Structures are given as C-alpha cells and as structure tokens.
Structure 1
Amino acid sequence: MEKSAKRQAAPKGARPGVRAYQNTVLVSLVILLIGLAAACTQYKASTILTAIAPMFDLANGGASWIMSIFTFVGIFVALPSGKVAQQFGFKKAILISVAILVAGSLIGLLSNHNGAVLIISRGIEGAALTCITACAPIAIKQCVPPEKMGIANGIWGCWGNGGAVIACVLTPQIFEAAGFEGVWIVFAIVSAIAAVLFAIYIKTPLREVGLTEAYEEAAGLAGKSSYREFAKRDNFLLLIAFVCMNLIMLALLGLLPSILQLPEKGFSMSLAGFATTLASLLALVSCPFFGFLADKMGRIKPLLVTTLVVLGPCLFIMYTQTGTLFWIAVCILGLIGFGCTGLFIAGWMQLMPRSEAVAKGMGLLTFVQCVGQFLGTFFVQLLLGPSYGNYFVAGIVLMVIGFLGTAAILISRLK
C-alpha cells in the first residue's frame, strides 16, 4: 500500500519528480530529529537548574521561570504558528523556527550571567519550539500515507520524552566538563545539524511549487477555516485530557529532578536525571508501539484510556517514594502512560471538522499543550513551595488531575 502511494503521480501543476508521499519511516525519523533537538533545548536546564540559578543571581521564584517561560511564551505563539504553517508551508516554517531556536541559545550563551537576559533567551527558544510542534504533525499529514498516520505520529510522539532523556542524561556530564556555556553550545549545534538533515531529506511540499486547487483541498490546505468549528463537545473533552497529560509530563520532566535532589531523597544530580528520564527512555518504545496498535485496531479511545489512567498514580508514587515502588512506577509510566502522546495527535486528527482546518487545528492543539506545560511547571511549582518540600500534596493534586484527563476521554465519543 505504501509503495503504491509513493508511486502516485504528482498532480497537474506540481513540479515533476516530487512525490505526494514519502517513506513513512524516513519522514518520521527526520522530523523526530528536529523535535529531539528542540526538546533538548527545552530540558537542558532542568537537571542543572539548582546549579545555574546562583550563577545568574536568581532566587527560587526567578529560577522557576527558566523552565516556565518556555511554555508561557508558547501560549501566545501557538495559535499564530498554525496560520504561519498554512501560509508559508511547513518546511519553511520549521527551518525558520530552528534558526530562531539557535539564535535564542546564542543570546543565552552571551548573556554574561544576566538572569533577565537568560530568561528572555529561553522565551525565544520556547517560541521556536512551539512553532515546531505545531508544524511537525502537519508535515506528517502531508508526507505520510493516511494508513500510516498512527505509527508516524507514534514516532513523532517520542520527541518530548526522547529529548528529555538526551538532555537530562548528557547535560550533567557536559556541565561538569564545560560548564553552562558548554551545555548551551552543544545543544545549539545539535539543533543546527537536525535542520540540515531536515532540509536535505524532507522533500519540498507540493503546495509550495504550484499545486492545483484539487490537490490543495486533498492536502487540507485550501479554503478558510474558523476556530468556531472546533467548539464541539468531543473536541473540548480531548483538549481537557491533553492539558492534564502535558501538565503531568512537565511536572515530571521539569520538577522531579529538583525534588529528588532534596536531602531526604538522597539522589545525586546524575541519578536524579537518570531516574527522571528512565520513563522517557521507555516511552521511545511505547509511543511507536501504541501508534502501531492504533493503526491495526482502527481505534484510539481504548488505548488512550489505558495509557492515561496510570499517569496520576505513577507520578504520585514518584513524588513521594524512593524505594522499589518508585522504580516500578517509573517503568509503568514509561511503558504505558507515556504511550499516549502520539495517540492524542492521531485522535485530534480524527476529530478535525474538515481537512482545510488542519493547520488551525494544530495551532489550537499546540496552544493547549503550552497551557498544560506551563501549568506543569508554574502551578506545580507553587504547590511544591520554594523549597520543593510539599511534594506529598503536589502528588495528590497531580493524581486527581490524571484521573480527570482519563474521565474526559472515557465520556467522549472518540473512536
């Protein structure tokens, strides 16, 4: 099926030799590299937050903005990013976003240990990441055959967890060897390399070289759409669940390393980074696997419920325990809970009112993602308190939020 899709002739008016679809695995992996580079940039600060805050003269409240500003800025960039992708094409939008990401890192590098400049630079990086996460699923939709969307979105769904693994494992080592400057330089170079590979291997989308109206309609890029089209019960329920999932994910990836380094927890910086990212490492298997199951079953709802129901309890255990139960929760979260990320994108595509609404729909989904991630750092930080000591109360609240997201999917009419 995929081979026949690859041989599909380009429509009249398109540039000869440019295919309607590309190889699913190649497209997914190259786009994943862009996501991994962006996620590394986001999470490069999480494991060394307590070490770099004094360097920039930032107290606990100010230090939290090193992570929170990333998603706070995304709230304002997400909706316009869908329109940018629709107007200029996903390839140009992603390449420009990576350039902005690298520029933000360089500003942080040259901040001369000025806390305000560092936070501003993190906001620039966050704006770029937001545009990337809005455009990547559009790229997948245009370049991958419809019957392979589950596995493609499953591979793409590894971007956040995979980037967190890479950043949280490598950052302490780089920081120890080359300091703050070394961390920022390394991940800026990684982002630039990913952009080069993306430019080489992802073919120019047909709409950028003169598509006919018929193909634009088939690609979901013709016509006008309104956000009012998304004001439907099942859309709201999925978005509520998506907020809950992202809140929990950032409460883990952004804050758990600092909790584990409390004196009563007894974790070193490196061990805290490993413990935090082990779940993300396992998610590199569970995300594609659940995407594969979605393609085979032709259903998303039962898989989403299965993955969501374990999120809250697992994070509660990880916040409050340090023994065997902690490591069991880490494994369950990675092998089951974090398998939901690609399913959400596939489910959202299933709820699109019409193909023309895809760009705005992804902008809206990214907006909701940023809201959830911002709450996962800012709101949960308030629950934890300045010394991160209220982790038991925060864990209970996060468990309730996880069950709320599960209930939203349960009562939805998602297939």
Structure 2
Amino acid sequence: MTGAVPISESTERPPPYAWTILLVLCVASVASSLNQFKVPPVLPVLIRDFHLSLGNAGMLMSAFSVTGLLLALPAGFILQRLGPKATGLIAVGAVSFGSVLGTFSATVPLMLASRFIEGAGLGLITIVAPAAIALWFPEARRGTPLGIWTTCMPFGNILTLNLAPWLSSLGGWQLVWKVGALFSLAAFVLFWFLFRMPGQQAAGAKPQDRGEGGVLSGYGRAMLNLALWLIALQFVCYNVVCLALGTYFPTFLNSVRGYPLSTAAFIVSLSTITALFSQPLGGWLSDRLGMRRRLIAVSSLLMAPICFSLFLATGWLVPALMITFGLVAGTIVPATFAAVPEVMASRRMAGSGMAVLALGQNLGMFVGPILFGKLADAAGWTGAGFMLVPVCVLAAAAVWLARFR
C-alpha cells in the first residue's frame, strides 16, 4: 500500500508510531465526545432560548445518536471500502461541520439537523478507532491502548461539563458550539497529517478477505450470533442509564436542588472523572481475572440503587454517589468491548461485531434522554430515577445469558 509505514512483524511489542496513531485516534474521539455532551451543561439555557419542554429537550441529545444508530451497521462497509484514514476524516469533518451549522441555528429543526450530522461523526469514529488499534497493536498488547481509548468519552464529557457553563456565561450557548467546532477542526488537521496505515502484516494481523462476499459473509454471521446481540442489548441498557443521567441530572440539581449551573455540571462530571481511572482498571481486571461477564453483570446490578438514590440524596451524598457511579459504571465499558471478539467465530469478524455493538450503543444513547425526559414529565424526577432500576437489571440478565468468560 502506498504510503504505508513499514513495521516489524513481531508480536512482542507494537511499533513506536503505533502510539502516535493512538494519540490521533484519542484526539478525534475526544472531539466527538466533547461535542456530543455540550448540551447537558447548558440545557436550561437551550430550553429557554428554544422554548422547549423537558421531554422535547431530550431530542437535542438523542438526535446526536440517530445518525450513529442508522450508520452503525453500514459503517463497517464504509470502513471496508474507504479505509480507516478516509473514514476517520469523514467522521471528524462531520462533527466539525455539524457544530458550525449548530452555531448559526435559530430554530429547533436546524439545530436537530446539526446534531444529526455530528452524530454521523461519532458513529463512524467509534468503528474506525478500535479497527485502527487492532491494525497497529499486536493481539497480546491491545488491552492497554483499548483501555486508554475508552477514556476518551469521559474525558470529552469532563471538558465540556466544566467549560461549557463558563463559555456560555461569556458568549451564550453559541460560544460553546464555536469552541467545539474549532476543536474538531484541529482534530481533523491532526488526523489528516499524522494518521497512516501500517504494513499489511502490522502487529501480527492476518490478511483479510476484502472481497464483497467475504464482508457480507462476516456480517451475515454476526447477525445470527445470539451472544453478540445479548452483549449489544446490555450495552443498550448501559447507555440508556448513562445518557439519561448525564443529560438531565445537571438540570435536576439546578432546578430542584438550587445548585448554580456550573456547580451542577461539575458534580455530574465527577462520575466521568472517576471513569478515567475505573475504565482502564476494569479492562485490566477483566483480563487479569478472566471474568468479563461476571464483572459486567455485577457492575450493572450495582448501578441500580445508585440511579434512584441520586434523586433522593442531598448534601455531600450527591457528589459521593456520582463518584461511586463513575467507579462502578466505568468498569463495564472496556470489558464489553473486549468481550465482543471473544464471542465471534474468528478475529476477522471482530469488525462486524463492533458494528453491532455500536448499534446497541447508539440505540441506548438515542432512547435514554427521550425516555427519561418523558418519565420525568409524567412521574417526576424521583419516579423517573426508580424506572432506571429495571433497565440495569435487564443489562445484567442479558450479559449473563451470553456465553463468554
């Protein structure tokens, strides 16, 4: 391949440039995460300026997930045809363009359209990044870079939760969108100049059949893999809970508990700060102890009482519960990503499995804010919090029925 970087076939350690690739992927992923989560910390401002109800306001988060939901399975074909670099550039470019469009949105339909475009970027980058990591890192050493990459989502969330209220006070919600667009543009330039493909035998990878029939066969097998779909269902539930709380809990703290918006956003960010440590730890534990399924199931059940307790707690219990939530929920993500290749018939089909997992992720991200907003309107904040309990239980049951270690 023209422009490929020659690397050693040794499976002992990745080539030095692999870490540069990981850095580029992380910056691109943080750009997607930052723009996805810029809504919750300024949601009261958006509700006021766009005259939204709580239920309708959830669409500003869910719309981001719609395109990712629709692109989840086709993204595998796009990656196969265009390659990681072109697909990655499209992903980061979509996030940047969508944020620019959102900056100039004066109506709800135009704002929703901008969120759809940004969601396309997230949907693509979540397929590109794990695939690129698999190309550059040998199988025995993929756990560490994968654990690092999974922290990009909470890291972007932390940045926007703590910067967005301050930026909004300086220049309205529009300034938040402008900064998101500039960050994404910088990520696009970085990806353009630094991302490269390794040699065909990178990191011990085996040549894959790039013929259309091989791709279609892999997707066909993935569609019939019950364990894969059970893992995807668990990830649907996980993202429903996380996006519901991440979207609305700052508003609850601001409107019900009387916290300043910046303080409310910081308290919510405590869970994502904790996840920066618990996600790599969860990946390491699932490898070290050889019990990914049990780790995911137990953590899912532990999330249940935290969900409703958040809407009952006051004082120091509020930040304490958010930290506990981040500690428990963070262990689920790397274990889930690591479980997917293990239930596939071969490593060559891991890309198809990740596409199905991305479908579950985006479905949960879409449903979570809308469902919780409607529940909060109908049953109040505490009632909506209690309704997240069966979602956590369903997640635990689904992953337990999937047969993997």
TM-score (norm 2): 0.90
- Given candidates 385, 395, 400, the residue that maps to 1:405 is 395
**Count of aligned pairs between the two proteins:** 395
CA distance in 1, matches of 2:4, 2:227: 41
2:62 is aligned to: 68
Q: What do the CA deviations read for 1:125-184 (whole angstroms, capped 9, x no partner)?
A: 111111111221111111111112222221121122211111111000111112222111
* CA pair 197-220 structure 1, distance change in 2 beyond 3 A: farther
Map residues 331-370 of structure 1 onto 2, 5 A cutoff: 331-370=323-362
Letter in 2 for 1:95: L
* CA pair 287-16 structure 1, distance change in 2 beyond 3 A: closer
CA distance in 2, matches of 1:26, 1:89: 18
Q: How far off its partner does 1:59 sit?
A: 4.1
Q: How far off its partner does 1:57 sit?
A: 4.0
The DSSP-based 3-state class of the residue aligned with 2:142 is: helix
2:273–2:326 contact (8 Å) kept in structure 1: yes
Q: Are residues 1:223 and 2:214 paired? A: yes
1:320–1:391 contact (8 Å) kept in structure 2: no
1:313 is aligned to: 305
Letter in 2 for 1:72: V
Map residues 376-387 of structure 1 onto 2, 5 A cutoff: 376-385=368-377
Q: How far off its partner does 1:195 sit?
A: 2.6
- Given candidates 253, 264, 267, the residue that maps to 1:272 is 264
- Once superposed, what is the RMSD of the aligned Cα atoms? 2.6
Letter in 1 for 2:133: I
Q: How far off its partner does 1:220 sit?
A: 12
Letter in 1 for 2:235: F
1:164–1:253 contact (8 Å) kept in structure 2: no
Q: Are residues 1:40 and 2:47 paired? A: no
CA distance in 2, matches of 1:379, 1:193: 35
Q: Are residues 1:151 and 2:139 paired? A: no
Letter in 1 for 2:164: T
The DSSP-based 3-state class of the residue aligned with 2:214 is: coil
1:135–1:362 contact (8 Å) kept in structure 2: no
2:5–2:197 contact (8 Å) kept in structure 1: no
Q: Are residues 1:31 and 2:28 paired? A: no
CA distance in 2, matches of 1:176, 1:65: 23
Q: How far off its partner does 1:88 sit?
A: 1.1
Q: How far off its partner does 1:186 sit?
A: 0.7
Q: Are residues 1:77 and 2:71 paired? A: yes
* CA pair 317-60 structure 1, distance change in 2 beyond 3 A: closer
CA distance in 2, matches of 1:107, 1:377: 22
Q: How far off its partner does 1:18 sit?
A: 2.5
Q: Are residues 1:18 and 2:18 paired? A: no
- Given candidates 235, 238, 250, the residue that maps to 2:243 is 250
Letter in 2 for 1:53: I
2:234–2:398 contact (8 Å) kept in structure 1: yes
2:158 is aligned to: 165
2:95–2:117 contact (8 Å) kept in structure 1: yes
Unaligned runs of 5+ in 1: 1-12
Letter in 2 for 1:217: Q
Q: How far off its partner does 1:324 sit?
A: 3.2
Q: What do the CA deviations read for 1:363-415 (whole angstroms, capped 9, x no partner)?
A: 221111111111111111111117xx712221112122112212222333211
Q: How far off its partner does 1:219 sit?
A: 10
2:192 is aligned to: 199
Percentage of pairs with the same residue:
29
Q: How far off its partner does 1:44 sit?
A: 0.7
* CA pair 390-22 structure 1, distance change in 2 beyond 3 A: farther
Q: What do the CA deviations read for 1:324-371 (whole angstroms, capped 9, x no partner)?
A: 333332122112322211211111122222233233322221111111
